[in-house]
Chains A and B, each alone.
Chain A
Amino acid sequence: MIVEIGHYALILALCLAVLQSTVPLFGAARRNMAWMTLAQSTAVTQFVLIAVAFGALINAYVTSDFSVANVYENSSTLKPLLYKVTGVWGNHEGSMILWVFILSLFGAAVALFGVNLPPALRARVLAVQGMIGTGFLLFILLTSDPFRRLVPAPLQGEGLNPVLQDPGLAFHPPFLYLGYVGFSIAFSFAVAALIEGRVDAAWARWVRPWTLAAWCTLTVGIAMGSWWSYYTLGWGGWWFWDPVENASFMPWLVGTALLHSAIVVEKRDALKSWTILLAIITFSLSLVGTFLVRSGVLTSVHAFALSPGRGDFILALLLVAIGGSLGLYAWRAPQLKGGGIFAPISREGALVLNNLLLCTGCATVFLGTLYPLFSEDLGGPKLSVGFPFFNRTFVPLMVPMLMAVAVGPMLAWKRGDLRGALQRLWLAAAGTLLALLVAFYVTHGGPVLAVLGLGLAAWVFLGVVIEWTDRIRLGRTPLAETWRRARTMPRAAHGMTLAHLGLAITVAGITASAWQQERIDVVHPGGDLTVAGYVFHLDDVKTIPSPDFTAERADITVRKGNDIIAVMHPEKRSFAQQGATTSVTAIHTNLLADLYAALGDSDGKGGWTLRLYWKPLVPWIWIGAVFMAAGGIISLSDRRWRVGIAARPRAPRGAQPAE
C-alpha cells in the first residue's frame, strides 16, 4: 500500500512539474503575479511528494518487501539496516529517485529562500527547474519505475554484494548528486536570464550561493569516491581516469570556472554571455554524465547495466535540455550588453586565464573520455585512452593555472601591476626554491617532475598566505589593526583563501605519489618486511569466523627503530554465499604519510603474500579537498548572500576593497 502511495505521489509530482514548467512562464511574460507565485507552491509541493515517494521506497527496503522488484533485485534480509537504506540508491531506479529528490529539494529551496529575487526571475527559474523535473519524472515513470511489483513475492532478495556494503561507497552518491543536480539551479538561472534578456551584477550575486553549494558537495563527493577506491582496492590507487570518474570531474572543472567568472560578472559587469554559457555547460555535463553512466555506451565498473530503451530516452532528454538551452543561447546571448573593459594584466585577466585553462582542461578530459566512442562510431579501431594520455595533456594545462592562483588575487581590477604583484610574492618564490631544494635532497634526486610539482604546490600555498597577510597588513600596521582587518574581512575572502590553500595541499598530495615505496613478498609468521625504514613484522595470520563470511586476519606490528608505530590487521574475507573473496586493507596514517598493508594469498606452505606500501603525503589529497569544501562553505555563510539585495554594502572608512 505504501508503495502504491509512493508511486501515486510520483505521478502527482509529474503533474505539478508540468504545471510548474508552463504557468509561471506565462505569468512572467504577462506580469501576472498569481501565475508567477504558483511556481513556489508547486515547487514545495513537488518536493514533498517526491519525498513521500522516496520515503516509500526506503520503507520497502527497510521492511525487505520483496514484492517490489527493485527491492528484490538489490536488497536482502541479511544486510545490516544502514546498508538496506543506502542500497536504495545503489541501483539505477533508486538512484534516479534520489536524483529527482535532490532536484526538487533545490527547487523548493529557491522557492522558500529566494525571497529577494525579483518575482519574474524567480518564476522563470522555477519554471526551468520544473521542465527538468518533468523530463526526469517522465523518464522514471516510463522506463525506470522502482515501484514495479513482483508477483509472487520471493522470500529472499538477490542483492547481497559485499563490495557495496561500505560506508564510503554508500554515502558517495548523495554528495555527488547534490553536486551534479545542484548545478541545475545555475542552469535554470542562466536560461531564465536568457529568456529575460538581461544579465547583471545582481544576477551573478543570486546565482553564486547555489553554484557554490553544488560545487562544495561535488568536491566532497569526488573526494569520497577517490578515498573509497584508495582504501578498498588493495594497492592504494585513487584515480583511474575511468569514464564515470571523468563524468564527475568535468562538471567540477567547469563549475570551478563558473564560480570564478561569476565573480567578474558581479564585480565588473563583464563576461556575461560567457558566464551564462558556462552555467549551461556545467549542468549539461552533468546530464551527459548521466547518459554515459546509464545508457551502456561506455564500459565502466560504475556503469549500471541497462536496456537500450533507457539510453534513447536520456538522449532525447539531452537533446531537449542541452540543445534547447544552447539554441536559446545562440539566439538571445548576442543581445546581452557587453560590460566593462579591462587590461589583459588585471584581476579580470587572471580570471579569464583561469577559465581558459579550466575549460580547456575539461575539453581535454572530454576528448579523452569520448575518443574511443568517436573512433568506433566512425568505423575505426577500438582504442582505449588511459592515464598516460591524461597525464601528458591535462597536467601541463594545470601548471600555468596553479602558478596563476598565487598571482591573480594580488592584481587589481581593470588594470593590474604584474611586476608589483610578483615583487610582493618574492617571499613565496624564495620559499618555493627552498621547498624544491629540500624535496630534491630528501628524495635523492627522484623524479624531477614530482619535485617540480611539490614546488608548484609550495608556490601556491605561500602565495595565498602572502596575499592574506598582505590584505590584513600584517607587520605593517599595529596588531590591533591587523586583527580588526582579519575580523571584518568578508567571509568570502576567507573562504577563497582556505579553498586555494586546500588546492595547494591536494596538489602536494597528488605529486607525492611519485615517491611511494612498495614491497610485495611472501612472508611466514615471525618474518619481517621492510619498507621505507619501517619494519613490518608478521606476527600471525588467524582465521576468524563471522556470520556472513570467513576472514583470514593478519596481525602485523610495525616498528621504526625500537618504537612500535602501529599494529595493523589486513584481512581477506571469503563470502561463502557469493563464492567471492574481498580484501580489507589496513591503513595507518600520521597525516603526513600512510602505511598501507594488504593481505594476499597463502602459498599453501604457511607463507602469506603481503603487499606493503609507504605513501607519503597521500592523506593531503583528501585533507586538501576538505579545505576546499570548507572554504566554499565559509564563503556561503557570507552575510552578503543572505542580504541578497543588489546594492553593495557600504564600506566603512579605511577598509580594503569588498571581495
Chain B
Amino acid sequence: MARRLLYLLPAALFVVLAGYFAIALTSGRDPSLLPSALIDKPAPDFTLAGFDGKEGLSRSALQGKVAVINFFASWCVPCRSEEPLLMRLAEEEHVPLYGIAYKDKPENARRYLDQLGDPYRGVGLDQSGTTAINFGVYGVPETYLIDKQGHIRFRFVGPLTAEAVERELLPRIRKLEGS
C-alpha cells in the first residue's frame, strides 16, 4: 500500500509545481522588476543643489509632508512620456511632486523642464547619482511615495501610467494625507 502511494509521488509533486506556476502566472508580476528594499524604512537623507539659482531639494524640507519624489533625466526617453501625466497630477490632483534630476547637467535639466513643463514643487540635481543609489534606484524614471514621517511607502519603476496612478498612487496618497 505504501508502495502504491510512492508511485503517486511524482504526480503529486508535479501538481504542487503546477500550482506554483499558476500562482506566478496569475499574479501578473513582472519578474525583472525589483521590489524596493526600503519600503516602510526611512527615506535616505539628502541635500541636493538646485539649478538656476533656485533652491534645491533636501529631505529635511519634506519633513511632516506627504511627498512624491520622481527621479527623471533629460536624456531619458520614457521620462518624456510620463511628463504630461505628471503635469496633470500636479495641476489637477494637487499631488505634491518633487523631482530629482539623475546624472543630468543643470542646463539640460532646465531645458527639459522648460520644454515639457515643470510639475515639481522642488527640484534637486543628483549629478553623481549617489542619492539615487541610496534610494535603490536602478533606472529612470522611478517614483517614490514618502509619508509624513519620512518613510518610503511605495515605489513605482518605469514611466507612470494613468492606470497605475489611479489604482496604486492616488489611493495611497489620500490615505497618507488623511492620517
Contact = CB atoms under 8 A, between A and B. Distances in A.
A281 interface: yes
A355 to B, nearest CB: 15
Given A299-B31, A308-B25, A376-B24, A277 B10 contact: yes
Given A311-B25, A373-B24, A334 B7 contact: yes
Interface string B18-32: 101111110111111
Nearest to A372: B31
A297 B24 contact: yes
Interface string A271-303: 001000100110010001001000111110000
A315 B15 CA distance: 11
B8 interface: yes
A253 to B, nearest CB: 16
The interface size bin for chain A is 20 to 34
A374 B27 CA distance: 13
Interface string A369-397: 01001101100001000000000000000
B20 A374 contact: yes
Interface stretch (A35-43, A321-329, A449-457, A611-619): A321-329
A326 B23 CA distance: 22
Contacts of A312: 25
Contacts of A329: 7, 10-11
Given A297-B24, A382-B34, A376 B15 contact: no
B14 A326 contact: yes
Nearest to A322: B14
Contacts of B3: 334
B35 interface: yes
Contact of A318 (B7, B18, B34): B18
Contact of A297 (B10, B11, B14, B31): B31
B18 A382 contact: no
Contacts of A273: 7
A315 B21 contact: yes
A315 B25 contact: yes
Contacts of A298: 31
Label chain B's interface by main secondary structure.
helix
Given A327-B11, A334-B3, A377 B34 contact: no
Contact of B25 (A297, A322, A376): A297
A82 interface: no
B23 A323 contact: no
B13 to A, nearest CB: 9
Contacts of A334: 3-4, 7
B158 to A, nearest CB: 15
A284 B18 CA distance: 12
22 contacts: A280-B10, A281-B10, A284-B14, A288-B17, A295-B25, A296-B30, A296-B31, A297-B24, A299-B32, A315-B18, A315-B22, A315-B25, A323-B14, A326-B10, A326-B11, A326-B14, A330-B8, A330-B10, A370-B20, A377-B20, A377-B23, A382-B34
Nearest to A318: B18
A271 to B, nearest CB: 15
Nearest to B18: A319
- 7 closest A-B pairs by CB: A326-B11, A297-B24, A330-B8, A299-B32, A377-B23, A299-B31, A330-B7
A297 B8 CA distance: 27
A323 B28 contact: no
Contact of A377 (B8, B14, B24): B24
A319 B23 CA distance: 14
Contacts of A326: 10-11, 14
Contacts of A288: 17
Most chain A beta-carbon contacts within 10 A, residue among B4, B24, B30: B24
B7 A376 contact: no
Contact of A291 (B15, B21, B30): B21
A197 B2 CA distance: 21
B18 A308 contact: no
A329 B14 CA distance: 13
Contacts of B18: 315, 318-319, 323
A288 B14 CA distance: 11
A496 interface: no
Interface in B86-141: none
Contact of B21 (A277, A281, A297, A299): A297
